[in-house]
Amino acid sequence: MWKYKIQDNVKSYPISKEQFVDLLKILFINQSVIIPCLMIAYYVDKWGPVTTIHALPTISTAMTHIFFYMIAIEITFYYAHRMLHYIYHFFYKRIHKKHHTWIPPIAIAARQ
């Protein structure tokens, strides 16, 4: 499999035990924040107003909405990510820089 590796200049395979333990700590902290937020969002949504859909949109309407939604998400993500680099140095140093410490693409690091 090494012959198919695209990042030839990265020499950090396999990851060290210290890197793995650090990664697990970050994942635990992230999940400790995300899971309570999701639970709160679930109960807020459950207790919120109930809406009833009377008719489904046509395929062309749904596809148009999905297309524009995807474009909006990509633009929003790009500028939010850029702001974390250049505008909000406070957040970059403390939070976002962790996302750039993993150069080799490993699955568990994608969730940090």
What pLDDT score does 1 carry? 57
Average pLDDT over residues 96-101: 72
Is residue 84 within 8 A of residue 91, CB to CB? The reply is: yes
pLDDT greater at residue 4 or residue 46: 46
Half-sphere exposure in the Cβ direction for 62 (13 Å, CA): 5
- Predicted confidence at residue 106, as pLDDT, reads 65
pLDDT value at 76 more than 80? yes
Model pLDDT, residue 46: 82
Is the per-residue pLDDT at 24 higher than 90? Answer: no
Task: Name the DSSP letter for residue 15.
Answer: P
Predicted TM-score of the model (pTM): 0.50
Average pLDDT of the chain is 80
Question: In this prediction, what percent of the chain has a pLDDT beyond 70?
Answer: 76
Q: Can you tell me the distance from the alpha carbon of 21 to that of 111, in angstroms, rounded to the nearest whole number? A: 14
Closest CA relative to residue 112, chosen from 15, 39, 33:
33
